[in-house]
Amino acid sequence: MNIPTIRPVSVDEIETWDFEADVVVAGFGIAGVSAAIGAAESGADVLVLERTGGGGGAAALSGGIVYLGGGTRLQKACGFDDSPENMKIFLAEALGPGVDESKLDEYCRGSVAHFEWLEACGVSYKESFWSQPGWECPADDSLMYSGGENAAPFNALVEPAPRGHLARVPMPRTGEQGAGHVLMTTLIAKASTLGVRVETDVRVQQLVTDGSGRVVGMVATQFGKTVAVRARGGVVLATGSFAYNDEMMQTYAPRLYKRPAATVEEHDGRSILMAQALGASLAHMEATEVAFFCDPQLIARGILVNGRGQRYVPEDTYPGRIGQLTMYQNDNQAYLIIDEEAYEEGIAAPSSSPQLRHAPTWVCETVAELEAEMGLPEGALTSTVDLYNRHAGKGEDPVLGKKSEWVKPIGSPIAAIDLRGMTGGFTLGGLRTTVDSEVLHVDGTPIPGLYAAGRCTSGLSAWGYCSGISLGDGSFFGRRAGTRAAGS
Amino acid sequence: MNIPTIRPVSVDEIETWDFEADVVVAGFGIAGVSAAIGAAESGADVLVLERTGGGGGAAALSGGIVYLGGGTRLQKACGFDDSPENMKIFLAEALGPGVDESKLDEYCRGSVAHFEWLEACGVSYKESFWSQPGWECPADDSLMYSGGENAAPFNALVEPAPRGHLARVPMPRTGEQGAGHVLMTTLIAKASTLGVRVETDVRVQQLVTDGSGRVVGMVATQFGKTVAVRARGGVVLATGSFAYNDEMMQTYAPRLYKRPAATVEEHDGRSILMAQALGASLAHMEATEVAFFCDPQLIARGILVNGRGQRYVPEDTYPGRIGQLTMYQNDNQAYLIIDEEAYEEGIAAPSSSPQLRHAPTWVCETVAELEAEMGLPEGALTSTVDLYNRHAGKGEDPVLGKKSEWVKPIGSPIAAIDLRGMTGGFTLGGLRTTVDSEVLHVDGTPIPGLYAAGRCTSGLSAWGYCSGISLGDGSFFGRRAGTRAAGS
């Protein structure tokens, strides 16, 4: 295969421009469509280059949660108080260590307005709240907890508020149509009404620079033909993560290598490399989202133990946090210990992920038998269950702080579900950008003409994650990229 | 302060060269001196640019362990069998995940010859083995375990062999003179006999490139004056880590931000940025060494528990592994639980770090009293000690695999030493280089004329660490950088 170089090409080498626009956006996922709308709303002539045959990207396949707060209309309608300050306190802790304070600050202060912008773009919300544990919402409610705000340790830090905002979906659902699909369809339609042009089956290959180092276009391939695309105002990179770039994964996120989830194969990291070739700076390349493949309705009703039989996370928290702590802090070893009554109750509960309701791996009458079956050292699991039950009788969990509503002594028969290696995810690191989505050179100054947003950048997450952050910062900083590239 | 740009300068802008050499080496620590010797031995005219008033760098202040194996003369003299294969199996596990297989392979296969080269450079070794737990060796023995090779889980993976090689030091010691100082003094003397020139008080600022993109020199400041240095063959970057660059630390290693240890303030990451401005690729920027500030002679004799009162590491392993697991996997929370008899025995044992023998924070008659004093939930520590003692009576530790010689039931009186936050360290990530120390562009090809080694590169460690790896890969790949830059 002849892979073109990722080094920039000089504008002097371009003989003719095949396409031209004020703002050229690479990628038509959440960040790209938001950039396109933002630029078009600022009066720019916009061209989107999309690698596949249509728009949507990973966002259209996702659960569609957008992380917003600070007192959105929807939060208020559902009876929740929130403030930008509380939102920031929570996110700084949940997404760290190492969050970009200035980005987080802008995001929290601008969140209510961003929600209004999404509504103005045509995204509709139902004024109802989903209160159950879950990766996503199985009903058509539009608000949910999506980051463990109401679980330990965060619920002791700041007043919890749900911030997962979901586009209204038609009920009864048909097929797999979810909030992500609805969100993207709506935004793509909005872009279309604004006159945004889209070229599909276009693979971006190189940035074009002028003598001063300014980015003035891109070289791409379309149906096997090389095309040159001129950007009179600016280029916006919005091509997603590097979850499918083997070398980058081995270099930056080796624990997630060959374990992609909630990502698409187009996420090959090329935009990151193209910008690096211009001296672009990176941030938090090792940060990843980590999904945990077990139904949260089961997890909350049992106790999770690691390979030594020890608990390590409050089981009622955001399952992505469980995934991160399992993979990075517990060698990807996890077992769910749950008694029959709790298991039956979990199975009967409404869920967005019934396919993650694993059958018990081992079932025994006593914990001692179970730990022997599991191959754990004598007493390892018994001591854990005894300690849990000692406090659970009073509805308390002083060791990890699981909320009282989920705390019940574990009885008999007792099962263990083998969840070792039940993780996967996508990358969160990428290009270092300003709050206006300018790509930063390693000398700390913006690279003229170059903008980026979404998962090819390092956004709000520095290590931790909440569901809705990718669609949140992708749309928020994507819109800013478009607005800025349009010269506003 | 007027900080010059880190962007490259064109050779056309250089009016006169203040210095010239075949090979110009930036930095005179372990990687720099090895590069200088390697280049000079290959017949090159070599100039070293050192930022401080003299050579040595962090290496001269270090414990001086060089990680070598595969059957060195010293290993054999001390009665240990080793092979490159066993060395590689261990290191791939201990330094991962994500190790550079090709580098590791070269290093293990070349390790015996590298030891011989160090001896030929004048470094002397005493044929005796230090068998006690310790960060370093308090006697004048020259061989020791320095990576937990003989502890769980690694001792079950492959036959253990000690690979920490220490230069012979004069006894009785005078002052702080250690193996690192002796090593560096010897190598600097060797460089001098080979005619290597050294300019001190020189701060490198920019790389100089020609029209083809080849690195042909550097611009630096010396006593406030800007100087241009021509490199006819190549430039070797060997300026150390980025542990003292605030912005890079917040971006790449936020947990270690403001917690430097075993590093020097000159480690400002500038070489990494200068190369990035040419499109250089990075690797494993988040990897760090983590020291744990407690005497290993105490740690091995107690049990370490996290903030929940749970054990998490075999206490007889390499203390740097304890540091990493404490900081990254247990929220920097650690307590050493130890009974009076074991504490007294540990205090009486020989140690290289008597200043890390902390006094007990709490002392009680029973574990129940102790856990209450410590503020742990009722039963949290009791269940841990009960489980440990249940097996310790038989000299076993099935939960974490501490070796029998260190396993004894914990009696009364019992103490806890508060070790929360007792960590610090240095960074291990940096420029991506080939096995010949060529700096790689993000397009996968070497940047002509540019070489790098030591802690400004990503070397053998991808996440884990062993003592001696920095001096090991710094000298090994430093020498290769010099040889290669000299055109050999």
Q: What is the pLDDT of residue A171?
A: 82
Predicted confidence (pLDDT) per residue in A243-296, tens digit = 999 999 999 999 999 999 999 999 999 999 999 999 999 999 999 999 999 999
Q: Is B6 on the interface with A (CB under 8 A)?
A: yes
pLDDT at A304 over 70: yes
Residue window 95-124, chain A: list those with CB within 8 Å of chain B. 96-98
Q: At residue A467, does pLDDT exceed 70?
A: yes
Residues of B within 8 A of A377 (CB-CB) are 391, 398-399
Residue A462: its chain B contacts at CB < 8 A? Answer: 254
B96 and A7: CB-CB below 8 Å? no
Percent of chain A past pLDDT 90, that is, above it, reads 95
- CA of A7, closest CA in chain B: separation in Å? 7
Report pLDDT for B172: 76
CA B152 to chain centre: 21
Per CATH, which fold does B294-421 belong to? Answer: Flavocytochrome C3; Chain A, domain 1 (3.90.700)
Distance between CA atoms of A273 and B245, rounded to whole angstroms?
A: 24
- Which chain A residues contact residue B286 at CB under 8 A? 285-286
Select from A5, A254, A432 the Cβ nearest to the Cβ of B462: A254
pLDDT of A219 reads: 97
The pLDDT value recorded for residue B485 is 98
- Say if B368 is an interface residue toward chain A (CB within 8 Å): no
Residue A384, chain B, CB below 8 Å: the answer is: yes
A226 at interface of B, judged by CB pairs closer than 8 A: no
Q: Are B429 and B256 in contact (CB under 8 A)?
A: no
Q: What percent of chain A has pLDDT over 70?
A: 98
Q: What does the pLDDT look like over B267-319, one tens digit per residue?
A: 999 999 999 999 999 999 999 999 999 999 999 999 999 999 999 999 999 99
| CATH of span A1-293+423-488 | 3.50.50.60
* pLDDT over 70 at A1, yes or no: no
* Backbone region of residue B453 per phi and psi (left: phi > 0; alpha: psi in -120 to 50; beta: other values): beta
Distance (Å, whole) CA B310 – CA A312? 9
CATH 3.50.50.60 residue ranges of chain B are 1-293+423-488
Residues from chain A contacting residue B255 (CB–CB below 8 Å):
97-98
What mean pLDDT comes out for the span A11-18?
A: 97
CB-CB under 8 Å, A282 with B277: no
- CA-based R_g, chain B, Å: 23
Among residues A421, A175, A426, A390, which one has the least CA distance to residue A288? A426
Residues A55 and A205 sit within 8 Å (Cβ to Cβ): no
Task: Find chain B residues with C-beta within 8 A of A97's C-beta.
Answer: 254-255
Measured between beta carbons, the chain B residues lying within 8 angstroms of A254 are 96-98, 462-463
| CB-CB neighbors (< 8 A) of B104 in chain A | none
How many angstroms away from the CA of B37 is the closest CA of chain A? 30
CB atoms within 10 A of CB B189: 13
The SS3 call for residue B23 is strand
What are the tens digits of pLDDT across the range A19-48? 999 999 999 999 999 999 999 999 999 999
Distance from CA of B447 to the nearest CA of A (A): 12
Gap from B62 CA to chain A (nearest CA, Å): 28
Question: Is the CB of B390 inside 8 Å of chain A's CB atoms?
Answer: yes
Closest CA relative to residue B437, chosen from B22, B7, B34: B34
pLDDT (tens, 9 = 90+) of chain B, 488 residues, equals: 345 789 999 999 999 999 999 999 999 999 999 999 999 999 999 999 999 999 999 999 999 999 999 999 999 999 999 999 999 999 999 999 999 999 999 999 999 999 999 999 999 999 999 999 999 899 999 999 999 999 999 999 999 999 999 999 988 766 667 899 999 999 999 999 999 999 999 999 999 999 999 999 999 999 989 999 999 999 999 999 999 999 999 999 999 999 999 999 999 999 999 999 999 999 999 999 999 999 999 999 999 999 999 999 999 999 999 999 999 999 999 999 999 999 999 999 999 999 999 999 999 999 999 999 999 999 999 999 999 999 999 999 999 999 999 999 999 999 999 999 999 999 999 999 999 999 999 999 999 999 999 999 999 999 999 999 999 999 999 999 999 999 96
Q: Is B76 on the interface with A (CB under 8 A)?
A: no
- Tell me, what's the pLDDT at B170? 86
Model confidence band, residue A210 (pLDDT cutoffs 50, 70, 90): very high
Tens digits of per-residue pLDDT, A69-115?
999 999 999 999 999 999 999 999 999 999 999 999 999 999 999 99
Does any CB of chain B come closer than 8 Å to the CB of residue A277? yes
Among candidates B273, B329, B379 on the partner chain, residue whose Cβ is nearest the Cβ of A442:
B273
CA distance B309 to A69: 36
CA distance A60 to chain B (A): 30
How many degrees, rounded to 5, is the angle at CA B58 between CA B150 and CA B192?
A: 110
Q: Does A394 touch chain B (CB under 8 A)?
A: no
- Domain span(s) for CATH 3.90.700.10 in chain A: 294-421
Radius of gyration of chain A (CA): 23
Rounded to whole angstroms, the Cα distance separating A54 from B270 reads 43
Chain B positions in Cβ-Cβ contact with residue A5 (cut-off 8 Å): 443
Instruction: Return the bridge partners of A446, or none.
Output: A440
A377-404 in b/e form (b: 16+ CB < 10 A) is bebbbbbbbebbbbbbeeeebebbbbbe
A278 contacts on B by Cβ (under 8 Å): 279
Determine which of A100, A206, A285, A305 to mutate to test the interface with B (most B C-beta atoms within 10 Å): A285
B390, containing H or E segment: helix B380-392
Helix ranges (H only) for A325-441 are 340-348, 367-374, 380-392
| Burial (Cβ within 10 Å: 0-12, 13-18, ≥19) of residue A159 | middle
Q: Considering only CB atoms, which chain B residues are within 8 Å of A432?
A: 251
CA distance B402 to chain A (A): 14
Interface contact B441-A5, CB threshold 8 A: no
Q: A443 and B6 in contact by Cβ < 8 A?
A: yes
Nearest to B16 by CA among B197, B226, B232, B236: B226
Distance from the B270 Cα atom to the nearest Cα atom in chain A, whole angstroms: 10
Q: Which of A131-135, A205-209, A364-368, B145-149 has the lowest average pLDDT? A: A131-135
Q: How far is A76 from chain B (nearest CA, A)?
A: 35
Left if phi > 0, otherwise alpha if psi is -120 to 50, otherwise beta: which for B133? beta
**Which residues on A lie below 8 Å from B379 (Cβ)?**
386-387, 390-391
**Cβ–Cβ contact A282 with B under 8 A:** yes
**Alpha-carbon distance values, A74 to A81, A85, B63, B73, B168 (Å):** 11, 18, 60, 73, 71
Residue A175's pLDDT band, with cuts at 50, 70 and 90, is low
For the record, the structure tokens of A392 come out as 């659970």
Mutate to test the interface with B, among A10, A95, A310, A445 (most CBs of B within 10 A): A310
Q: Closest partner residue to A5 among B276, B378, B443, by Cβ?
A: B443
Is residue A2 very low, low, confident or very high in pLDDT (cuts 50, 70, 90)? very low
